[in-house]
């Protein structure tokens, strides 16, 4: 017979709305690898879903274990948006996550959101990413950029001004019209150091 806590946790994992609310309020999202007794690289649909949801809702994924192959690792530098923790250090997780500064967490969240929007945000982006990974694996060059002609920054009434020729005897000093008694002067403010 399952206890009340186990029922609550299992219902949390099956209820999308509760999981979404929890991820929106969370800073980190723990992704636990299942123990299979073998040292093979794991990648299951549930793990991929947890990673996808963490990135989508702005939580920093913390992967506990080192046998997880991250998707699109040929094109995405996962070290800038995912935290990995070996299973042997799971007892230190509280102190490990507390060691991140606010700027570190903000950077991880920002990079995660950018990667999500660029590579996984819509079905079109997902297909482009998969095709890009296949193209990278078989060594094909990327698609060329489309040439786009931009509109001119100037309207039809714009004419190019012609600079007249200046004879060698002509004065070209831009300050020649200024009053000769006027003086340009700049003084830096005083800096005082007080030692106490």
Residue 195 pLDDT more than 50? no
Q: What mean pLDDT is reported for the chain?
A: 77
pLDDT of 69-105, one tens digit each? 888 888 888 989 999 988 888 889 999 999 999 999 9
CA distances to 57, 88, 97, 185 from 93, in Å: 22, 10, 6, 61
Look up residue 179 and give its two tokens. Answer: 């009053």
What's the confidence (pLDDT) of residue 169? 56
State the residue for tokens 């879903």: 49
What's the confidence (pLDDT) of residue 82? 93
What's the confidence (pLDDT) of residue 174? 56
Rounded CA-CA distance 58/71 in Å is 18
Of 20, 17, 21, 44, which is closest to residue 31 (Cα–Cα)?
A: 44
What's the confidence (pLDDT) of residue 59? 92
Rounded CA-CA distance 66/90 in Å is 12
pLDDT of 113-139, one tens digit each? 999 999 888 999 999 888 888 888 888
Q: What per-residue string of b and e applies to 131-153 under the rule 16 or more CB within 10 Å gives b?
A: ebbeeeeeeeeeeeeeeeeeeee
Higher pLDDT, 152 or 81: 81
């Amino acid at each position: 017979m399952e206890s009340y806590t186990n029922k609550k946790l299992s219902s949390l994992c099956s209820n999308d709305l509760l999981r979404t609310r929890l991820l929106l309020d969370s800073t980190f999202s723990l992704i636990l690898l299942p123990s299979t007794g073998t040292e093979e690289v794991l990648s299951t649909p549930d793990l991929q879903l947890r990673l996808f949801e963490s990135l989508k809702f702005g939580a920093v994924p913390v992967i506990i274990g080192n046998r997880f192959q991250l998707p699109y690792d040929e094109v995405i530098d996962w070290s800038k948006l995912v935290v990995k923790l070996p299973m042997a250090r799971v007892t230190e997780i509280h102190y490990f996550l507390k060691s991140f500064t606010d700027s570190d967490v903000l950077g991880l969240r920002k990079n995660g959101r950018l990667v999500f929007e660029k590579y996984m945000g819509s079905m079109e982006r997902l297909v482009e990413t998969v095709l890009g990974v296949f193209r990278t694996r078989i060594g094909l060059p990327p698609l060329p950029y489309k040439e786009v002609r931009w509109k001119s920054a100037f309207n039809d009434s714009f004419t190019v001004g012609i600079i007249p020729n200046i004879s060698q005897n002509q004065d070209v000093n831009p300050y020649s019209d200024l009053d000769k008694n006027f003086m340009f002067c700049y003084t830096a403010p005083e800096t005082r150091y007080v030692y106490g």
